[in-house]
Structure 1
Amino acid sequence: MSDIERTEFKLPESAPARGPESSVEPHAQRGEHDVEKSLRPKSIHEFIGQPKVRRQLDLVLSGARQRSVTPDHILLSGPPGLGKTTMAMIVAQELGTSLRMTSGPALERAGDLAAMLSNIMEGDVLFIDEIHRIARPAEEMLYMAMEDFRIDVIVGKGPGATSIPLDIPPFTLVGATTRAGMLTGPLRDRFGFTAQMEFYDVEDLTQVVTRAAGILGVDIDSDAAVEIASRSRGTPRIANRLLRRVRDYADVHSDGRVTVRAAQGALEVFDVDELGLDRLDRAVLDALIRGHGGGPVGVSTLAIAVGEEPSTVEEVCEPYLVRAGLVSRTGRGRVATSAAWRHLGLEPPEGAIGS
């Protein structure tokens, strides 16, 4: 029996915003949780940011609807937290079909994929998160399913094994990946539309925070929304998370209204500085600058200095530090830029990168 998770996606109903006299009964707490789940946009026009992706995807879906055909398979790539899963949900919503969700690591055998594909209805959207981690046997079965809407099921073992062809209804595969370079060429080429999700600017993130505050019933000042957005590392998921923590701070330490002062106080409590760096980010910079004179330093050495795994430093901290212009990757190792020295309140040495 396959242990793959199969989910038919249904959008949550919008719940009313909390008023100032909201009940604190258990059923009220469950309602608030439902409201937080509704932070995901429900349509492509409600989705904030990613204007190129939205325009291109809207064209793909609109053309398919006009021709009454199943849209091409869609690949969404980009860093975590930018809305790839939300976009897959929107695709199903726009097409008026069911969404079935799984992940690449869950598809360990070809039989796992066959079990899922055998239950697909015509026009359904199959969403595979982290598709670059799908097992090779399942990936090879996916080739035929994507191109010919057919799979071969092997019955038996050894010389007596028999291949039984199984036709499946036309469907749309939406794959999401944080590492597009790890996709094999044959799999990548079978997607009819590929979208690269990009980090958000502060203006778009401010809209994300303002919209989420309205859904959560949070009274927020416009400049407080900008403050939260500017510390969210260009990622909507982080912006929504910081908003909820700032809301907690405002509820406990003031009248619940989120002002700039409340936002700054909350983010200081949760170790998020003005650039969006957290404790681990600053620990890496401190080890790089104060511990090794600004580098160059290997990632393994930095990981030992901060007490983390090298993969954590390389995959969690380093991408944002590089994008923020605080760390430079060289052939000899990681080097702190002049901006990193100044961020720690130190004067950069002569010859520092960016000085």
Structure 2
Amino acid sequence: MSDLPEDLTNPELVAETELAFEGALRPHTLAEFVGQKKVRGQLELLLTAASMQGRTPDHILLAGPPGLGKTTLSMIVAEETGKPLRMTSGPAIQHAGDLAAMLSSLMPGEVLFVDEIHRMARSAEEMLYLAMEDFRIDIMVGKGAGATSIPLELAPFTLVGATTRAGLLPNPLRDRFGFTAHLEFYDPAELELVISRAARLMGFEISADAIQVIASRSRGTPRIANRLLRRVRDYFLVHQSVGDRSAVDAALELYDVDTLGLDRLDRAVLRGLIERFKGGPVGLSTLAVSVGEDSETIEAVVEPFLVRAGLVSRTPRGRVATEAAWNHFNLSQPNVL
């Protein structure tokens, strides 16, 4: 007989569980949200004060690396205020007219979430200044000397902007947000809570030490933790395993996730740096070519974690593999004269 719970062997129950999981994975209130304690406290104060005064909450900017909960927090803001949520992204707003059409259709108190807001077109950014401050926009009608500016009043709304690169936002836009939250990476204990909750929603049992293994390899990011948990769940199902540590180790090894949470590309970059360039220093573009990847991918996706994990140092002369990187591959670092 299988040791798997019925939820993982009955197709109908699996389908229902998946649908429930997709809908319930994101917390719906600040009380359910795990981690980011300081940000949660700040948001709770902001939303409560706005509710007590009967006004629309100030505009909110959520800044931080991908996968830490910016989209989830925007949904929570709408849920806590009891208002509708409108979602879009910076790359989707390439003309001022796109933004004008969206802003003019907002209901009073509605929450507008703009993901990757730093990638919005400059003309739309400039229109947003007046909309955020005075809840109105100026629409130009006609061209040339006969052009006329028509003011259009907007319903009060709350803009929630999310960005992974706050430094790319122009100062006039950044200064118009009433509150800026900087999301931090999660510690393993917080990730264990995230994984435990997700496993419970998925309807299968996993041991505490197995949860610790997943948390330790999730790079401080809930999105990665949930993704690894689902792959581990698939492994349990296919191999008729129980949720113990040995099965988790086997599943993560199959998916090329090592003990530090490094994936195939991470290890390729480190090995290239160590084996081809003797640990560096080496320029970013040269390193990217050596592993067959785009330099922007290396800089934006791979390098931040390697630097944070103490495996790579960024120096004026280029990237350098640290002693920890050599040790991770059981290699001896050459003496540097």
TM-score norm. by structure 2 comes to 0.96
Whole-angstrom CA distance in 2 between matches of 1:28 and 1:219: 14
User: Which residue does 1:184 correspond to in 2?
Assistant: 170
Residues 1:328 and 2:309 aligned together: no
Sequence identity (%):
64
Within 2, Cα distance between the matches of 1:151 and 1:295?
53
- Which of residues 11, 15, 30 is equivalent to 1:29? 15
User: Aligned partners of 1:228, 1:100: CA distance in 2, in Å?
Assistant: 34
Cα displacement string for residues 69-124 of structure 1 (whole angstroms, at most 9, x for unaligned residues): 11110000000000000000000000000000111111111110000011101111
Alignment of 1:130-169 (within 5 A): 130-169=116-155
Answer 1 or 2: higher relative contact order, Cα 8 Å, separation at least 6. Answer: 2
Deviation for aligned residue 1:153: 1.3
The whole-number CA distance in structure 2 between the counterparts of 1:166 and 1:21 is 55
Residue 305 (structure 2) pairs with residue 299 (structure 1):
no
Which of residues 90, 100, 110 in structure 1 aligns to 2:86? 100
Distance 1:143 1:248 in 2: 48
Residue equivalent to 1:89: 75
Give the superposition deviation at 1:287: 0.5
For residues 273 and 216 of structure 1, the distance between their equivalents in structure 2, rounded to whole angstroms, comes to 24
RMSD (Å), alpha carbons: 1.5
Shift of 1:169: 0.9
Per the TM alignment, residue 161 of structure 1 is displaced from its structure 2 partner at its CA by 2.0
Q: Shift of residue 28 of structure 1? A: 5.2
Residues 153-183 of structure 1 deviation map (CA, whole Å, 9 limit, x = unaligned): 1122222222111101111000000000000
Residues 67 and 223 in structure 2, CA contact (< 8 A), matched pair in contact too: yes
Unmatched runs of 5 consecutive residues or more in structure 2: none
Q: Secondary structure at the match of 1:153?
A: strand
Q: Deviations over 1:3-27 (max 9, x none)?
A: xxxxxxxxxxxxxxx84476314x9
Do 1:19 and 1:217's aligned partners in 2 also have CA atoms closer than 8 Å? no
Inter-partner Cα distance in structure 2 for 1:155 and 1:23:
61
Picking from 298, 303, 308, the partner of 1:318 is: 303
- Give the gaps of 5 or more residues in structure 1: 1-17
Aligned residues: 333
Say whether residues 1:194 and 2:180 are aligned partners: yes
Q: CA deviation at 1:351?
A: 4.7
Residue 44 of structure 2 corresponds to residue 58 of structure 1: yes
The one-letter amino acid of 1:314's match is: E
SS of residue paired to 1:170 = coil
Report what 2:206 is aligned to.
Answer: 220
User: Aligned to 1:349, what secondary structure does the other structure show?
Assistant: coil
Return structure 1 stretches of 4+ with deviation > 3 angstroms.
18-23
- Alpha-carbon deviation of 1:299? 1.0
Q: How far off is 1:218 after superposition?
A: 1.9
How many Å separate the matches in 2 of 1:178 and 1:215? 29
TM-score (norm 1): 0.91
- Match of 1:308? 293
Matches of 1:205 and 1:218, distance apart in 2: 18
Residue by residue, what CA displacement relative to the aligned partner does 1:203-251 show, whole Å, maximum 9, x if unpaired? 0001000000001112110111110000000000000000000000011
Q: Deviations over 1:30-69 (max 9, x none)?
A: 6513422421011001000000100111000011011111
Match for residue 4 of structure 1? none
Q: Which amino acid counterpart does residue 319 of structure 1 have in structure 2?
A: P
Cα 1:243–1:326 change in 2 (3 A) is same
Distance 1:22 1:340 in 2: 42
* Range with bigger deviation, 323-332 or 32-41: 32-41
Alpha-carbon deviation of 1:349?
Answer: 2.5
Q: Distance in 1 between matches of 2:78 and 2:46?
A: 13
Name the counterpart of 2:66.
80
C-alpha separation in 1, matches of 2:55 and 2:88: 24
Distance 1:165 1:50 in 2: 40
The equivalent of 2:158 in structure 1 is: 172
Whether the 8 Å CA contact 2:59–2:177 is kept in 1: the answer is: yes
Structure 2 residue aligned with 1:261: 246
In the superposition, relative to structure 1, how do residues 351 and 21 fare at CA in structure 2: closer, same or farther (>3 Å)?
closer
Contact 1:122/1:169, CA 8 A, preserved across alignment: yes
Q: 1:21–1:83: structure 2 CA closer, same or farther, 3 Å change rule?
A: closer
